[in-house]
Each structure stands twice: as C-alpha cells, then as structure tokens.
Structure 1
Amino acid sequence: MKKIATLMCGCLCFSAQADNEHPLISAYPEAKLRKQLTYDYEHFQFPNTLVNENNDYETLAVTGDLYQYFYIIEGVSTLKVYENYASALKKLGFTITFSCLRDACGNDRTTKALGEHLSPEGAVYNYYHNPYYLLAEKDAPKGKVIGAWYIGGYEDETAVQQVIVETEPLEDNLITVDPSYLSGKPQATSPTETADAKELSKDHQLFARYPGASLRNHEIIDYETMMLPAAPGSADQTPLSLSGDLARHFYVVKDTSTLKIYENYKQALDSAGFKVLSRCELDACGKDREAQQLGNKISVEDNVYNYYRKPYYLLAKKVIDDREVYVALFIGAYESEAAVQQVIVETETLATDLIKVDADSLKQQIDATGKALIYGIYFDTGKASVKPESNDTLVAIATLLNRNPALLLYVVGHTDDTGTRENNLTLSQQRAAAVVDSLVKQHGIAAARLLAQGVGPFAPAASNDNETGRQKNRRVELVKRLQ
C-alpha cells in the first residue's frame, strides 16, 4: 500500500511512524490502540449526515486504501481530543465537509449508530457520551484523502474511531496468465534451489498467486471428479459435475480487500479469454451462512472458517485445444485478511481405449514387438504411489507372468515433456519401481523377474504439443529381457 507521509504539528504530530498510526496523522498522545484494520483498495461509505430515528443517513461512497483505528485515551475529555484533531486537520489543509458536536449529533441511540459505522469492531460500546464527529477531505496527487473521526467518552476515558481512505485508481494487472499454458504447450521451468521458488512452484501454471499471498494448503490430483456450484441467484442452480485434472489452492492475503483481489482475478481471466459462467458479489452471495457454505464447497479443506465476509465468487471456462479448463474462485475476508479458495479443473475425455489390457493382449504385443504399452496404471500428478484404480491392469500383468514363468521383463517408466528433465527422470524411475513393488508384494511375482528403469521424456510415443499426445507419453512399458 502506498502511504502518504505528511508532517503535522501541535498536540497531534508526526515523527517516526508507529505501526499503530496512519502516516498522515499520529495517534493522540498516550492513546492505546484497541483495534486496527487496513485494506489495500476497498469500498467505504462515510456518514455524511446525522442518523435519524429510522437509522437512515446519507453517505459519501469512496474506494481506495482503507485504514480503520479504535483508540482509547485515559483522563482526557472528548472536547480536548476533538479540538486537537480539528486543529491538526486545519493545518494540513483539510476541508471539513460535515461535523456535529455533542447534543447536535443526536440522542444516545442515533449518535451511537453514527460511531459504530466507523468502528473497526462495528461497535463503540459505552463510548458514545459527549460525542463529536468530523468528516474532512483533502486533495492528493492520486486523488482525495478522506477521513472521519468519531470521538465519544465513557467515565474518564475517551475513544476515537478513525477512518482514513486514500483514493487512487485500481491496480488490476497483478495476476498474469501464463501464455504457454493457454497455447496448450506448457513450458518447463528451470530448477532452482531457493525457498521462494520452491514455494511458488506449488502454484498452478495457469496463473501465479496474488502478490504477497501465502499458501495455506493445496492438492493436485490427476483425474478426479469435482462439483462446482453455481452462484446464488444464477438462473441455473445445477452444479457442474466435472472430471479431469484437479488443482485446489487455499491462499491467505494480508491487508488487502476482497474487492481488489477479485478485480485482479477477473481481469486476468477476461484477458485470457475465459467466459464467466456464474458469479456473485458481496450481498448477492447470500447471508453469512450461505456465503460460507458456498466457499466450503470448493475449499481444499472443505471449510473457509471465518473467511466468508465481503465475499466474491466466480466460475469461468475456456476451451484450450482438446480440453476445457474451468476456474472457480471464492474470495472472502476476516478482519484485515482475505482468503482465496481456488479450483482449476482441466477436463478431457479419458482415453479408456488405451487402458483395456489383459494377459493375452500383452503377450501378443510382446511376441510381436518385444514390448507392451501400459496406460492403465495411475498416479497423482508429481507422485509415484500407484493408485487403487490401477489394480485391474496389475492383475493382467501378474497373470501374464504367471502363465509364462520364463518371461523376464524390464518395467520402464515414461513421462511427457512438461516439467524439468531431472524431475521427469526421477519421477519415471520412482513410478517404474512402484509398479515392480506392487507386482512383487501384492501379486507374488518374484522380484528377480522384474527390473525397473525410468527414461523420463526421452522415448515419446506421440507429440508433446497437445494433451492427447502428452497422455500417450505418460505410460509404463513392459520390455522383454533376455537375462
């Protein structure tokens, strides 16, 4: 967040900025910070009139970097605190656009409601006696700076509710889409040993995380089913039932509004040619419980916890080569933190014709070519544990070996050409070894009859330029060996 540093003097003054102060104006001397919230680019509505008996009032709506503070000061009257703020604002060149003093602010109930609108806790509690309210603005290089102060007392304490908004244009280019992903030709990245690079490598290739976001949890599953909900209010409420490569991420972003994060994701998807299928913003996403349930449906932890306030939801789709890519985003906040629940599903028709194998067909391939291609052994993306749905194929291989006791095999692992060469070689070796281990331990095949070898992307069965070819390259081969 870009800060304004402005000197001021008097009882309120700016020297070295404290973490609990806005750089424009310091806290009152000896003030204790009870609560502080900051948001990079957020909407706020400043009360611009008194609150009436129906709890109605006019507001000044602004958008920008938002700062909210709740201070407690002991042994000082609300009058003295008000006079110091008013003097400081005058010296800074602010124009006071609305104010009220003491009884002119209304009765206890209405003046309390005025202060609660500014409070970062949504309440002023007993600090509404002898109230003062100031709304002021000042021109700045990028827009206006608008501030409001509600000052109320209780016994020998005074509380200050302070809100400052620095208006400025929205930065909506913070998330960029990888063009190689959109072209259907993902590019390998160079390996690096830095901790930051290892952490960022957990992001999906489509787009990197929002700047400054921390990854709380994620999962990547090769070919899984996922239900993506429609936004509340959509004409068609039928969830999308999708099958394909699934990636889910749970990010947390500090001091940034859900609005700014949402606008950046929306801009990135729009520029990449995605079509929005369903979306909702703020109250349109439902009341708290409904918004929370919406987020829970796509969260990798099945729960957004407290991150359901100020919600935004978006479901979008793009066709890339022979596959459809779906993106679902739920963005919600808790105090000054925002969380992003991100789901990406790449759907494709599973090539079932590649995975129907039996002992006889394997024997025919080996007799004819010296090898047999196997596509029915499954692994999660980047992992080497054989998935349970591989069992039928493993049974066919075990049957082949049991029927032909003199047969010796190399079990050769292959990958496509995405990712680094070193990682692909390691992964293919680990997967070949995992297949051998399963055949030995679960199907009773003698270990001496099988040798595992990984060759990574070096012997492709098809082009790596499209997903269909890459799918054919991700395979295991059984190669006959003589000894």
Structure 2
Amino acid sequence: MQRIVTTTLLAISLCLSIAFTSAQAANAKDHPLINRFPGANIDQYEHLEYEEMSFILSKPYHKDGAWVADKILPVAGKVTYIYYKLPKTKSPLQVFRNYQKAIKKQNMTVLFNCERTCVNVNAGHLDHLYNNHQDFYFNYGFDQYIVAKRDNFYLSLIVNDGGVFQLVIEEETLNDDLISPIAEALASTGKIDLYGFHFDSGKSALKPESDSELAELATILNEHPALKIKIVGHTDNVGDSKANLKLSAARAKSVLNALVKNFNVNAANLSAEGQGETQPVDTNSTDMGRAKNRRVEIIAINPEVIYGGTANTYNTDHTTAEAAAEAQQEAPADNSGNIVDSAEEVVDKAEKVKDVAKRFKKFF
C-alpha cells in the first residue's frame, strides 16, 4: 500500500512540476534586448539575478575525447535564458537569417558567428563550455550560433531543428553586501552591541557620522517589517550614576527617533531604554574598556523573523514546516498504523523527480 501511494504522489508531484514550468514559461516575456521570431512560443524560461556563464567565441572541436574551444568568454551578471519553439513551417536557416538582421539593426557588435552546420554535435554536449551549472536546457544540433554584444549586454543564440536557445547576460558587479553583520547577529544571538552611533561627551544628540549605522539598521527593520527591537543605551562609570542612567536613556531615544523620522521605520516596532553604567562588557579602569562600555545595544524581541538574514527565506521555510506538520497529521495510514509519507518526503521526492525529468529530456 505504501509503495502504491508513494508512486502516486510522485506522479502527481511530477505533473505539478511540469505544470508549474509550463505556467512559468507562459507568463514569461521576451528579453527587451531582442524580440522573438514571429510565431515562436516560449517553452522554457529562467531568470537569475546573478550567475556566471561562458560564451563560445570559436568553433568547438573534438580533442582527446572531449569537446573544446580555443576562445571562451566568461560573463557574470543578470542571466535570462529562453527556449523558443518555432512554427513547423519555418526553417532554422530562415529564422537565423532574421536574427542576424535584427542584431545588425540593434547596432550590436557580433563577437562570433558560426553558420550551418557549425559543428556536428548535440548542443547539450557542450554544457561545460557554456559553464552551464544551472543545467539550462540545450538540445539538438549546434547548427547555427551567434554571439553579439551591446554596452554591457551579451547575447547568444543557437538556432536548430529544435528551435531557438537564447541566452542574455547583463554584465554587472556582484552585490556581495546583502548579508548584514547586524542582521546575522540579531538572527543568531538576538542582540548586538553597536559602536557606530556617535555622541558628544555628556550629550544625547546623534552626530552626522552616525548616519551609516542608522541606515544599515533601518534597512534591516524595513526589510523585515515584523521585526521588533529594543534599543538600549549604556555608558561607562565616569560621572554620577543617576546622570549616566538618564543620559543612556536619552541616547537610546535619539536613535529611535532618528530611525522613525529619517528612515520611516515603524515606531510601533521600537522601544528604548537606558541601563546607564549597570551592564559593563569590559573593565572601566582603562580607556579602551570604558570605550567598549559606551555603546548602544540592539535586542531583537522576535529574531526568528530574520531567519538566515532574509525575510523571504524565513517565510518560505516556516510555511513549508507548517504545511508538512499539517500534512503529516492528515496523512493516511497503512494497515500497520504507519504514516504512508510525510510532507517532507513528498516535497523531496518531487524535487528529485523534477531534476531527473529535466536531465532526461536533454537527450531527446
């Protein structure tokens, strides 16, 4: 019974996966760099904010049991992959000639052009030359191939009996500053001491050099609108303890007001208080120790909403976990009383089937 149900679930998962891919392709649009050939339909579509792939700029050839090319151009940036199916009445040569003309009209520079039959090899066998780690679908002959460039846009087209395999990369530098150290600390420990808020001695007004720290904290709060934090001011032990307590509270309040007024952070998610000199993190007997004690502490009331630094990741995983728990409670049992399949297993198997189906399709 378990085998039958599992097989059925896998079949359903595969159907849903195929349906999702078709729906994604149906909602996809041509890349603005170049239009599709009239009558062509998008069969597969993928878009990535950042990836590196390679363009083949010389005729591939077989050497020592492998396909190689003397000129390969790696390009990184936004990647758009589209596979178009063509009307049966249109020949690949007709389509390729039209694309060549369109590229010329777009004032693009042709980096490489290889006409039929460019190389007698299945286009899918050149994955390593494309640096195709995403396993984009390339198939049929490597018959007609062109690479062109305009500004920071790179375009390649393979046109064959299967249709048009289009790759566009908008070259750009990777934004590798997406994971904030503040967000990481709040997500992992629930708090962080910040030293980027600057005040004059004995004063509570924020100095202009505090703006960068404020901006980073505000970005986290605005990206995670459910996140609630407590802003806690701390001082060293120099001066009167009651005055230090009052000063620390005023400084925390200044940070709160700046977040709300200057960065549109939701005030309902913020609270402020002062602890004065009561919670030192280092000795007050040295200048360095006192400097460490003068700080603004950020405490996350609900750090779980950050989960890995991105709200989307948390929402997705959280929803999946809830769905898995519900599915497991409702899952049918076999005669021995065992659950047939947990929701996690179904999701995992569906992903494996999807991957196998995609790879299997490449060979036909």
Whether TM exceeds 0.5 here: the answer is no
**In which range does the TM-score fall when normalised by the shorter chain?**
0.3 to 0.5
What's the TM-score once normalised by structure 1's chain length?
0.33
Bigger radius of gyration: 1
What's the TM-score once normalised by structure 2's chain length?
0.42
Higher RCO by CA contacts (8 Å cutoff, separation 6 or greater): 2
Give the structure with the higher percent helix.
Answer: 2
Give the structure with the higher percent strand.
Answer: 1
